[in-house]
Amino acid sequence: MNYEGAIIRPPNEADSLILQVTVGCSHNRCTFCPAYIDKKFRIKFIDEIFDDIDTAAAEALYDVRRIFLCDGDPLIMKQGFLIEILDYLSLKFPRLKRVGIYANAKSILRKSEEELGQLRDKKLSNVYMGLESGDQHTLDLVKKGVTIEKMIEASARIRNVGMKLNVTVLLGLGGKERSVIHAKETIKVLNRMQPNYIGALTLIIVPGTVLYDFQSNGRFELPGKFELVKELKIMIEGSNLKNCLFFSNHASNYFPIKARLPRDKENILAELKSVISSDDESILRDEFTRGL
């Protein structure tokens, strides 16, 4: 397999075959994101992709059942090109059950529900979208390049065709000043989206990003550890999710939770309140073990 640069995948795709079909991110302007700052976006040639598929199939990976397509936004590829890839994956991996993909609102909305349905029928069934924050002010500051309403529209399109919607949010993205606003507005948007899965990560500010420069010159202050856990509590407290798995098990988080909402809401809230009131940092993940 020929990978270019660092490869990013969602935590729950750990058991998937990772196939790089694009390099970098089609947007690549978010001030907080270090994932693709060293990559110029391009779509790989079909021969490159097929060679990687052939290599994986030949290396005793016949039994592959889950595949994840990266880098940042493969859904932006033309419909026919993506279908070619999905058809070849099914040919080479007869036991393939599902394919996952990163997508943003722009790439989702470029495709009709009919086109998305075609991809679903080709086993592309899991879509990962970064909401990051439900606070439009925060999104504008970090140059997300999209409105809340467009992301809600895109999420509805994914759900309407029967794909599973996985949404990522970033604790701390509003900074200390907008911490509570960020948390409250984020859960309001998640309630409207009704995703199948929510993954909460905690912002880690990385040298080389614009946000790192903002922090260095005093224009951005990250909330404290327990303030970040409080953001998580606010989101759970305000949740009106119908049948959703909510995770904060990523290595960036100070306190991991795994909840099926609404079933586990009260138990998780009690746990989070206990952690916050304890003010005991030994309960939290230490800085040495945190990471992207």
Which domain, by its residues, includes 175?
11-286
- Bridge partners (DSSP) of residue 258 are 247
Number of domains making up the chain: 1
Rounded to the nearest 10°, the torsion over CA 8, 13, 18, 22 is -50
pLDDT score of 292: 67
- Nearest alpha carbon to residue 25 among 89, 78, 65, 70: 70
pLDDT score of 62: 62
CATH number where 173 lies: 3.20.20.70
Helices (H), the chain: 46-58, 79-92, 105-109, 113-121, 136-141, 148-160, 179-193, 210-216, 225-237, 265-278
**Interatomic CA distance for residues 96 and 87, integer angstroms:** 11
Tell whether the torsion through CA atoms of 271, 245, 176 and 179 is positive or negative: negative
* Structural domain contains residue 149: yes
State the DSSP code for 17: E
* Structural domain contains residue 3: no
Tell whether the torsion through CA atoms of 44, 163, 262 and 183 is positive or negative: positive
* Structural domain contains residue 5: no
* Structural domain contains residue 150: yes
* Structural domain contains residue 186: yes
* Structural domain contains residue 153: yes
pLDDT tens series, the chain, 292 aa:
889 988 989 888 989 999 999 999 999 999 999 989 888 999 999 999 999 999 999 886 668 999 999 998 899 999 999 999 999 999 999 999 999 999 999 999 999 999 999 999 999 999 999 999 999 999 999 999 999 999 999 999 999 999 999 999 999 999 999 999 999 999 999 999 999 999 999 999 999 999 999 999 999 999 999 999 999 999 999 999 999 999 998 889 999 999 999 999 999 999 999 999 999 999 999 888 887 6
* Structural domain contains residue 1: no
* Structural domain contains residue 91: yes
